[in-house]
Chain A
Amino acid sequence: MPSIRLKDVCVDLPIYNSSGRSLKSALLAQAVGGRVADDRDRSVVVISALNHVTLNLEHGSRVAIIGSNGAGKTTLLRVMAKIYPPTHGAVDVIGRISSLTDLNVGMDGEATGYENVRMRGILLGLTSPQISRLMDDVTEFTELGDYLKLPIRCYSQGMMLRLAFGISTAIQPEIILLDEIIGVGDQAFAARARERLHVLIDAASILVLATHDTNIITQLCSSAIWLSHGRVVDIGPPAEILERYAKNPTPG
């Protein structure tokens, strides 16, 4: 059964300025023993993005992550997607993850639409027959027709989004990680995109959604995680959490 388990997870993000990026400076700092180091010239600043987060998400979880900007929502999604290794604590994720955080990932502007579908397919680890099914599915859904034979740098933004969305949502994952619900293109297409996304979400075992949109939360989610300054403030039913969040978004 798919599950996401985070035990006492901390993530410290180092932020480097140009001298923190330099091997020369690092070696010089070693040579002088750091005694002349000036606190005002800190070349590395560490931000604590997640602070002792413990979570257990099981099959059937529909979870919203809420919190103000910089509360750690995206960082938490990236930890779940195994992109950020935690600095402390343990992460155990079972199940095939699809992280719909950037639809354009791995696309090449010089390559044609078809080539991009194939490349994304290989990136997802699909076999040749699976890729040809992906190709049919994307062709039908995007309705791009002969445009798929052209390099995607010639595409309009709407066409680009259709293709990226079509590919990203063609494979059914067990765990879906979403950073804001994606709106796609013109009205008629947006409706079909919504429908396709909802089919994907319904069939998934676990959904984690970071968003500010209360309508979507009440519509899709059965519980909410409230983050503030990288800490979990509370977990509970969305209506209750949202009400308290509205009163004081950044406690502590």
Chain B
Amino acid sequence: MLEASWRGLADVLAGLSSWRTWKMLAWNDVRRRYRRSGLGQFWLTLSMAATIGGLGLVYSRLFGVNVSTYLPYIAVTFVIWGVISTVVIDSCNALIENEQLLRHVSLPRSLFIYRVIARNLIIAAHNVLIIPIVFVWFGVGVNVNILWIVVGLILLAANAFWIGYFLSIMCARFRDVPQIVTSVMQVVFFITPVMYLPDQLARRGFAVIKWNPFANLLEVVRDPLLGSAPSAWALGSCAVMAVVGLAVVMPFAGRYAPRVVYWL
């Protein structure tokens, strides 16, 4: 058990130290997707803007919420949710789709998770451009609480890493897991306050958000952008989840990550 944990940790650190490799692979992923289109990577931004604009106008009326609160809110949540859900879903294929590389080069498995996270952060960096535009349009201010975003992003990255690492190995062995994960993330989307405001649900005394780890992950990045500090509950539960998750995934990866090449 302890030996397996050390091997897992060694793989995690070896992946980190080959940062030039995953940075290159992540950029290449983004480039190749939009290589032959005129607007390039900004297609991503444009389609995200269209989604937010359309949803904002329709749902603010549907929910009876002021559009100048609702639209900035979903602009922020959609960008963050995009990162969370695509990292989780992409991680499922992180090892499977690199079969050729893994069969011919001895590389740390964690490298491919860093690549997925980096790729999605690059995409998010394009989408983030929408937020200041929406904020200026609706006169939403930013205050000193924005600094909490550093903590929020660290918590998000740490949790995304262990979830992705675990799923990538599981999915290499069991090929029905990617489908399961996709359906689960669909459900999670509806029980996480991405499309609605958390107090709309809390007012009705429904505690699902408090115990939904994805809602907490969303909150620690979202609230700093919207001008308030994340709740101690959200920060604490994300930190605990990161520590426990990493502690559990290390022996798991130490035991099974080397065997991935036999499963491809």
Q: Restricting to A59-115, which residues have a CB under 8 Å from any CB of B?
A: 78, 81-85, 99, 101-102, 104-106, 108, 110-111, 115
- A102-B100, A108-B28, A110-B35 given; A23·B174 CB < 8 A: yes
Question: Which listed segment binds A: B82-90, B125-133, B154-162, B256-264?
Answer: B256-264
B263 touches A14 (CB 8 A): yes
- A16-B263, A123-B21 given; A108·B101 CB < 8 A: no
Q: Given A83-B261, A85-B258, A105-B101, 14 other A-B contacts at CB below 8 A? A: A18-B175, A21-B173, A21-B174, A22-B174, A23-B170, A81-B106, A83-B102, A84-B261, A84-B262, A105-B104, A106-B101, A111-B31, A119-B24, A122-B20
Interface size class of B (residues with CB under 8 A): 20 to 34
User: Within 8 Å CB of A26, what residues of B?
Assistant: 174
B32 touches A110 (CB 8 A): yes
A125 touches B28 (CB 8 A): no
Q: Residue A13 at the B interface, CB < 8 A?
A: yes
Return A61 CB to nearest CB of chain B, in Å: 20
The A interface, classified by DSSP as helix, strand, loop or mixed, is loop
**Interchain residue pairs with CB less than 8 A apart (22):** A14-B262, A14-B263, A23-B170, A81-B104, A81-B106, A83-B106, A84-B262, A102-B103, A104-B100, A106-B100, A106-B105, A110-B32, A110-B36, A111-B31, A111-B32, A118-B24, A122-B20, A122-B21, A123-B21, A123-B24, A125-B18, A151-B35
Q: Residue B177 at the A interface, CB < 8 A?
A: yes
- A102-B100, A102-B104 given; A122·B24 CB < 8 A: yes
B180 touches A23 (CB 8 A): yes
A residues contacting the other copy or chain, number (CB 8 A): 31
User: Within 8 Å CB of B101, what residues of A?
Assistant: 105-106
Q: Residue A247 at the B interface, CB < 8 A?
A: no
Q: Residue B3 at the A interface, CB < 8 A?
A: no
Give 5 nearest A-B pairs by CB, closest first. Answer: A23-B174, A85-B258, A105-B104, A82-B106, A21-B175
Return A153 CB to nearest CB of chain B, in Å: 11
Question: Which B residues lie at the A interface, using CB under 8 A?
Answer: 18, 20-21, 24-25, 28, 31-32, 35-36, 100-106, 170, 173-177, 180, 258-259, 261-263
Return B32 CB to nearest CB of chain A, in Å: 5
Q: Residue A24 at the B interface, CB < 8 A?
A: yes
Question: Which A residues lie at the B interface, using CB under 8 A?
Answer: 13-14, 16, 18, 21-24, 26, 78, 81-85, 99, 101-102, 104-106, 108, 110-111, 115, 118-119, 122-123, 125, 151
A111 touches B28 (CB 8 A): yes
B177 touches A23 (CB 8 A): yes
> With A and B bound together, what is the CA distance between A24 and B180 in angstroms?
10
> With A and B bound together, what is the CA distance between A22 and B180 in angstroms?
11
User: Within 8 Å CB of A84, what residues of B?
Assistant: 261-262
A105 touches B174 (CB 8 A): no
- A24-B176, A119-B28 given; A99·B259 CB < 8 A: no
